[in-house]
Structure 1
Amino acid sequence: MTDLGVGQDIANAIYTDSQSVLAVARRPIFHARTKHIEVHYHYVMETLSVGEISFSYVPTQDNPAVLFTKALSREKFEAFRKPLSLIPFVD
């Protein structure tokens, strides 16, 4: 944010439903499962370590972002659409 000329005092919060992402980001030990992660992805771990970002776990059933990433039933789609202020598409 500083590069964009916008200062802030707190870390940007990133909410995820992936326990493995949280584990790898919080404990950047390189082993067989992480050795093929490309170098530019390590930037996330660096920004986490200096406090520019923070990760928080959000269960899938409480995360409206799954609307854009997963196939959902109509009921769940409608439930996640409302908090994002998305209106229904009507002809």
Structure 2
Amino acid sequence: MANGVVSWVLRKQKTVTLSSTEAEYMALSDTCRQISWLRQFEAELGYAQTKPTPLCVDNQGAIFLASNPAHDRRTKHIDICYHFVQEFLEGNHIKFYYVPSADNIANVLTKPLAKQKH
């Protein structure tokens, strides 16, 4: 809001994933639930959002999975509750922006980085 971060969460995921794409996709679903709550809260305060909420993502596979809801043998094991992100995207409530890992400042908190990156 006003070009600043409103919400920040860092926690260990409760489920085991088979790839980084799955992990990021599940994180996107959790983020969409948080965005949904924030948009409803802002609407109750009289600041209804008419534009999609920008969502920066550093995993192109997760963006592709959310943007292309076709299910195949590689994604059929993902629990249905995580596909909320697809509905949220189709409803124009969010818009993805790809952020390369080299430009992602959150990596300091989520990945082991060399001293130069810190």
Range class of TM-score, shorter chain: 0.7 to 0.9
CA–CA distance in structure 2, aligned partners of residues 17 and 2 of structure 1: 23
Structure possessing the higher radius of gyration over alpha carbons? 1
TM-fit CA distance, 1:3 = 2.8
CA–CA distance in structure 2, aligned partners of residues 55 and 65 of structure 1: 16
Select 2:112's aligned residue among 66, 71, 90: 71
State the partner residue of 2:15: none
Tell me the TM-score normalized by structure 1: 0.76
CA–CA distance in structure 2, aligned partners of residues 57 and 2 of structure 1: 22
Contiguous gaps of at least 5 residues in structure 2: 1-37
Select 1:32's aligned residue among 67, 70, 73: 73
Select 2:59's aligned residue among 18, 25, 38: 18
Paired residue total: 77
- How large is the Cα RMSD of the aligned pairs? 1.3
TM-fit CA distance, 1:34 = 0.9
Could you list the runs of 4 or more consecutive aligned residues of structure 1 that deviate by over 3 angstroms after TM superposition? none
What percent of counterpart residues are identical? Answer: 35
Change (3 A) 1:17 1:9: same
Q: Which amino acid aligns with 2:98?
A: Y
TM-fit CA distance, 1:2 = 4.2
State the partner residue of 1:85: none
Tell me the TM-score normalized by structure 2: 0.60
State the partner residue of 1:47: 88
Change (3 A) 1:2 1:15: closer
